[in-house]
Each structure stands twice: as structure tokens, then as C-alpha cells.
Structure 1
Amino acid sequence: MNIDKLSQRLQTVAEYIPEGSRIADIGSDHAYLPCHVVKKGKVSYAIAGEVVEGPFQSAKKQVEAEGLSDRIDVRKGNGLEVISNDEVDCITIAGMGGALIASILDSGEAKLTNVKRLILQPNLSAKSIRLWLLEHGWQLVAEEILEEDGKIYEILVAEKGEPNKPYHNMNIAASLLMGPFLIEQKKVPFVKKWRSEVANWKRILGRLEEAAENEDNQKKRMELSNKILLVEEVLD
């Protein structure tokens, strides 16, 4: 992967960035994404944020090597600390756990006042993000799922709006877990992901059924059984 040819995962994120927007890429690593969209002329200005010294230096070198320092500002800081209130209108966060992405949005919520779009790619627990969006006035407007190098990724796109809208006439528990748009599309990676999850949950359930009976064990069995039923109903 390089700035001219992104991974399929990051290319999909890039496709959802609005033309002419100003973006902040949080956890930018080598700054491939901001460099790509600025170099292609899709965005006018970008901030690449990194909290870890190594990736921060890598991002700086990448931006300098591409001659983009006048249009990409590489900043070191935690989450949305790297932006001011009115600097950007689109935020991308890719390659972290869903719970961490949700906590970044939560602690930096005051910085989201003028942001029009969030593009979020969790490596796991996309449900944490869907819950956060629902509870904080952000409407899920699109979702993508793809498989690359043996891993399955979900991408969530949100804008300020009606947070309940995507969940109308849907099982809320299933759609928060699996994604309302993804449930409707039922693409091959989606089915593969959830069949694998169900198989894993059934293995765990089998071990729990062989273990000593106690209240905690019983609760875990009930939770797993409910999740299996929920997912199997969607898949069938």
C-alpha cells in the first residue's frame, strides 16, 4: 500500500469523503489516507492526527516527501484534541476497536459542532459505534462490509440527522449488532462474518454447558443463546 494505491479498506473510506471537504484523519499512522485524497484533489485541506510518536514522525515524513505540507497539517495529540471547533467538516477514524472510536468521539464531542460527516472503520465491535451515534444525534447514512487479506471490515458513515431513522421497522437489537444497511444488503462478507461468529459462540456455549453450574455461567449461556438466535434469524 502507498498513497497512490490505498488498501481496499482505506479506498472505501476515501470514497465516502465529500468532494472539497476539509478532513481530520484521527490515528492517521503513515498519513496515507489524507495524502491520497489531497493529492487527488478530492479535499482542500487535511489534518493527520497521531498520539504515538513513531507513527506521528512517519506521517510527518510522508507528508513532507509528497510535498503536501502546505495542505496537510500533521499534529500529535490524543483523539480529537488535534482539531479546533471549526477546522474540519469531515472526520475519519480507521483501524481501531469500536469501543475506542466511540470513546474518542465521546471525549471530543464538543469538537463535532461543525462536522458534517463521520466515516468510521472499526476493527471490531461496530455495535459500540452504532450505539454512540444513536445516543448522540448522529444518523447512520451508509454502511459497507468487505474482506481483504482474510479479514472482514465494516465501514460506518454518519451525519447529523434522525438517529432512529435507519432502525425503523427493524429489530433494533439485531441492527445495532449487525448493521441495518448490512442486514438489508446481506453481502458475502457479511454472511461469512456472522456464520463464523455463530460457530464460535456455539463452541463457547458447548464449553459452558459442560462447566459447573452457577449464576454467572447461566447468565453467559443465556446471553450467547440469545445472540445466536438473533443472528440466525437474520441469516435465515
Structure 2
Amino acid sequence: MIEISKRLQTIGDMVKKGSIVADIGSDHAYLPTYLVQKRIALRCIAGEVNYGPWQAAVRQVQAAGLTDKIDVRLGDGLAVVALGEVDTICIAGMGGSLIASILEAGAEKLSGVSQLLLQPNVAAPIVRRWLLEHGFQLSREKILEEDGIIYEILEAVPGDPILPYRNRDKKLEDLLEIGPYLWEEKSPVLRKKLVQEQEKLKAVQHQLQYAKSPEAEHKKREVQKKLAWMEEMIACMQMDRE
């Protein structure tokens, strides 16, 4: 049985049992191997755009004896998937902008897909906004820390895109930024993530303090606004725990 990272295992355990899964940007095909070995997925497609990782995925699947269950394909994004071929699409380990662009470029392939599992390394709000604007309902969010890195995992299904944001104590824009379910949970990991981002912005603010160009002044205002927002969010989380 393959051993995989906590991040990939969390994604794998969110997959609906009995699904046919496409893992886009599969790298070494660790996630598809786990899904088939654990009998979570019936079959998997491991998609890779780069030849080196595609070769590594082929070797992994062959070594696991799963060539009849996992099809390793070389191609860009959702181009490796035929319309109606899979139930679940996983895209993990890349930036939110790239995930959104992969979904946008292959939008016609999403018809009939019942589950999206998306793990952006950065820019999760861009992914949430894409889902909101394209008929997918954010249904679950998880946040975890592994080896000092914090990861967010988003699950979406066809449905009412605005539903997760209704009747909340924060505005839509706030919830797109922070995640409606993550905000509801208010875990210590989320607070740690916000504090880390706050410290990074303070460093940027410090670097900008002597810059006088119009562009720098605009950036200063943006940073100050974001810092004020973060302070408010962190303070709210502190009050909710007391």
C-alpha cells in the first residue's frame, strides 16, 4: 500500500467512493495509486503536461501493478479527459490562477462532473470566485498544515453557487477571501495562516515606506487596507474563542 503525504491523503479521502477520477497535474500518480489501492476510485486518469513527470507517473503505476486501473496521459489540463468520462476531477499543488485557467480552458469537459477537489498552493480566493461565477457550489473546505506549509482544499459540486455565502456574518468579498466554511470553523490553522500573511504584508509595508512614486503610493494604500482587514479577521477569531 502506497504511503502518501497528509495533504494528498486528505484530498483522496474526500473523493466520493466508487468514482472515476481524473487527477490533473498528477506528477508521480501518487494520488491515483492511493485511490485505487484504497478502493475509493474504480478507475483513474493521471494527467501530466510535462514529459518527465508523465514518465515518473507511468513508472509508478507500472510498479504498483495498476496499469489496468490507472491510465497515465500526456496533455495539457483537461485536454486529457473526454466529455463524460469522469465523475471527479482533482487539481492540486499549483497556484489558484493556474487552477482557474485550467477549469476555464476545459469548461466544456465539466458537464457531468459531480465533484471538483481543488488544492491551490496560493490564491485560493481566485478559485472560489471562479466556482461562484461558473455554476459550482462550494460544498466543503479543509485547511491543514504539513511540514510547516498550510494548505487549503476546496470541494465543489454542481448546485447553487451563492448558497455557501448566504446568511453569514461576513460580506461576500470577505468570505471569498477567507473561505465560508473555514471562517465558520475558525481553526487555529486558519488563524496561523492569517498571522503569517499579516507578517508578510508588514514586511512589504516596511519596504515601501520610503518609496514616493505614484505606483508605490497606490501599493501602500492597498497594503494598509489589506492589513486592516486582516487585523479585523484575526480579532474576530480571537473574540469567538473567548
TM-score strictly above 0.5: yes
CA deviation after TM superposition for structure 1 residue 218, in Å? 2.2
2:138 is aligned with what amino acid?
L
Query: Which residue is equivalent to 1:183?
Result: 183
What aligned pairs does 1:66-145 form with structure 2 within 5 A after superposition? Answer: 66-145=64-143
Residues in 2 aligned to 1:197 and 1:12: alpha-carbon distance in whole angstroms? 23
Residues in 1 aligned to 2:38 and 2:188: alpha-carbon distance in whole angstroms? 31
1:75 is aligned with what amino acid?
R
- Between 199-208 and 86-95, the greater mean CA deviation after superposition: 199-208
Aligned pair partner of 2:158 in 157, 160, 163: 160
CA deviation after TM superposition for structure 1 residue 77, in Å? 0.1
What aligned pairs does 1:13-32 form with structure 2 within 5 A after superposition? Answer: 13-32=11-30
Query: Which residue is equivalent to 1:148?
Result: 146
CA deviation after TM superposition for structure 1 residue 221, in Å? 1.5
Superposition misfits of 4+ residues, deviation over 6 angstroms: none
Query: Which residue is equivalent to 1:234?
Result: 233
Aligned residues: 233
1:127 is aligned with what amino acid?
P
Root-mean-square deviation over aligned CA pairs: 1.1
Identity in percent: 48
CA deviation after TM superposition for structure 1 residue 203, in Å? 2.2
CA deviation after TM superposition for structure 1 residue 209, in Å? 2.7
CA deviation after TM superposition for structure 1 residue 144, in Å? 0.6
- Between 223-232 and 134-143, the greater mean CA deviation after superposition: 223-232
Q: What are the Cα deviations for residues 62-116 of structure 1, in whole angstroms up to 9, with x where unaligned?
A: 1111111111111000000000001101000111011000000000000000100
Residues in 2 aligned to 1:89 and 1:193: alpha-carbon distance in whole angstroms? 32
Q: Where does the alignment leave 5 or more consecutive residues of structure 2 unmatched? A: 236-242
- Between 116-125 and 198-207, the greater mean CA deviation after superposition: 198-207
Residues in 2 aligned to 1:206 and 1:53: alpha-carbon distance in whole angstroms? 42
Query: Which residue is equivalent to 2:218?
Result: 219
